[in-house]
Structure 1
Amino acid sequence: MAPREVPLGGPRAMAVRRTLPQRHRSLIGAWCFVDHYGPDEVSATGGMVVAPHPHTGLQTVSWVFTGEIDHRDSAGNVATVRPQEVNLMTAGRGISHSEVSTPGTTVLHGAQLWVALPAEHRDTEPGFQHHAPDEVAGDGWRAHVFLGSLLGDASPVATFTPLLGAELVLDPGTHLSVPVDPTFEHGVLVDVGHVEVSGLGVASGDLAYVPTGREEIHLEAGADGARVLVLGGPPFGESIVMWWNFVGRSHDDVVAYRDAWQAQITEAGAVVRDGRQVAPGRFGIVPDQPLPPIPAPALPNARLRDRR
């Protein structure tokens, strides 16, 4: 699957390559969104400056190859996204956050991923987890497993459905057969290089889909080596409605989320509770962030359709 280029956070923002969702495939396991960006020279692009914005019904998974991003959210979590360290934010019933590349970042390169929460957990409390996986390595390859288990390593990060997320770096010409769970479907996002994925040639920036029933994924790197992200999970089995930053189960869900966000950001006078500034609304306020919140775009004239 080839990506399409979209602006991140507005028409003058840095460009990202979006490979999921697409018209013919909306989910891989519970993975419902894959953005891939860089390497971008921050002096030329301005880097990542995404002001406070809301989420519902999902988890965000941030993974960078180069550069650093400061994360702040309305649950009071402040963290820096660094290379080979995963930051997972649970939006649940509602959260807002900002993402801004650090002043010391000169080159920004990474992936922003979303996971749909199953219906029974989509209104869970917001949360945040951080993990720096150890490197595992073999003949011609190195890996960092940030979700689930692969190649003898396992991540302690908790998710609401079984998931796999890992970075693999392959030396030039390396052949690697990766044992995988046959109940999972998988996606292989090629960051750099050219890779044969179980016999299919996949160029840099593209995402290869591997259906359930496979016990191994065969990877072969080209002459320049390669770096890939391997994502997976059992087929989600639920329909979702995804629009802007919201995941719901119906058009009316999304309308309600949008209305709540718009009402909240136009509210006068936040209050201080437990030592931090918050609003009485669903999404809270991102503390110590001078950037004004991003208003929601207008809804389309037609009812939003579900994704399966």
Structure 2
Amino acid sequence: MRCGREATTDPQPAADERPAGVEVLTPRAVPLGGPRAMTVRRTLPQRARSLIGAWCFADHYGPDDVAVTGGMDVAPHPHTGLQTVSWLFTGEIEHRDSLGTHATVRPGELNLMTGGRGICHSEVSTPRTTILHGVQLWLALPDAHRDAPRDFQHYVPTPVEHGDATVRVFLGDLCGQSSPVRVFTPLLGAEITVPAGSGVSLDTYRSFEHGVLVDSGTVTADGTPLRPAELGYLSPGRPRLTLTNDGDGPARLVLLGGEPFGEEIVMWWNFVGRSHDDIVRAREDWAAGRRYGEVSGYDGAPLPAPELPNAPLKPRGRAR
């Protein structure tokens, strides 16, 4: 089943932007959030690739039995130069930030926070959560908007059936659905579920690069099999993307996309800047209690910033 926009309106790709094969990015295990850390699987950033469009960070976690792992308890911490995207499959997370927002992240509902020049927030799984399972994603803000005002947006996309597949578009547009959530570069974010023995063909923007992050099942993206927690990278130039599930059970994935991000960034801890000095100032301001505001209602102290490395932080951009 094909779905999406009319790809023929895009200009033809340049010779050096025609599709290559699917690059498979494997995750690494990372402890999240201080002494009571839960472990996440991180596919962005990594040495081979720092960005997919403006997507600069991708953590995948669960399904975790919180009675065993303790769930999520991330104390107040800062962000600059980015937007955070929270998307759950199972469980609930309580979000508090220095805007005064007190919100709940639930499955199938998007919570997007704009850090801009500086914001801080906490994330704690709720007492009624038994299984915690989802993704945490970041978007790098372009230089013209990296000091954008703090903001928080909540959106519940309508599930759309296309053939046997179910699509939830939380950012951008796909399959006739368009998200009203404000972002600062052309982007796509969608959850797609494909039943066993089925598939879906999606019309895509030729100017976009895409990432297929597999949550469950085995997904084949344009002929390349991807296992759970792997991220398949697809270069610009594709008029459509075909996803199939040859397994015995349903497969679920998160599709990310965007126009290649034309700027180099420096990303360290929870900060996105353009230079080592940007990061130094962001860290100093957090330590001094400047810029980020305060989170009300969290029971505990904010996270301290780690020590900076001895060598200057180097900018990284789109892999060629």
Q: TM-score, normalised by structure 1?
A: 0.94
Matched, 1:63 2:87: yes
Counterpart for residue 142 of structure 1: 166
Distance 1:175 1:33 in 2: 27
Distance 2:170 2:204 in 1: 15
Matched, 1:296 2:311: no
Counterpart for residue 293 of structure 2: 284
Counterpart for residue 235 of structure 1: 260
RMSD: 0.7
| Structure 1 ranges of 4+ moved more than 6 A | none
Structure 2 counterpart of 1:169, which letter?
T
Structure 2 counterpart of 1:296, which letter?
A
Distance 2:225 2:195 in 1: 17
Check conservation: 2:36, 2:73, Cα contact below 8 A. Answer: no
Counterpart for residue 226 of structure 1: 251
Check conservation: 1:174, 1:225, Cα contact below 8 A. Answer: no
Structure 1 counterpart of 2:311, which letter?
A
Check conservation: 2:108, 2:157, Cα contact below 8 A. Answer: yes
Unmatched segments (≥5 aa) in structure 2: 1-24
| Count, aligned residues | 292
Distance 1:245 1:51 in 2: 13
Identify the match of residue 152 of structure 1 among 173, 176, 179. 176
Deviations 1:257-276 (A, max 9, x none): 00010111xxxxxxxxxxxx
Identity, in percent, stands at 61
Distance 2:27 2:134 in 1: 15
Distance 1:194 1:141 in 2: 15
The Cα of 1:12 is off from its aligned counterpart by 4.0
Counterpart for residue 245 of structure 1: 270
Identify the match of residue 285 of structure 2 among 260, 269, 272. 260
Deviations 1:113-142 (A, max 9, x none): 000000000011100000000010022110
The Cα of 1:225 is off from its aligned counterpart by 2.3
Q: TM-score, normalised by structure 2?
A: 0.90
Which secondary structure does the structure 2 equivalent of 1:70 belong to?
Answer: strand
Check conservation: 1:58, 1:122, Cα contact below 8 A. Answer: yes
Counterpart for residue 182 of structure 1: 206
Distance 1:125 1:54 in 2: 14
Identify the match of residue 78 of structure 2 among 36, 54, 73. 54
Counterpart for residue 307 of structure 1: 316
Taking CA–CA contacts closer than 8 Å with sequence separation of 6 or more, which of the two structures ends up with the larger relative contact order? Answer: 2
Matched, 1:106 2:130: yes
The Cα of 1:11 is off from its aligned counterpart by 5.0
Unmatched segments (≥5 aa) in structure 1: 265-280
Check conservation: 2:93, 2:125, Cα contact below 8 A. Answer: yes
Counterpart for residue 66 of structure 2: 42
Structure 2 counterpart of 1:305, which letter?
K
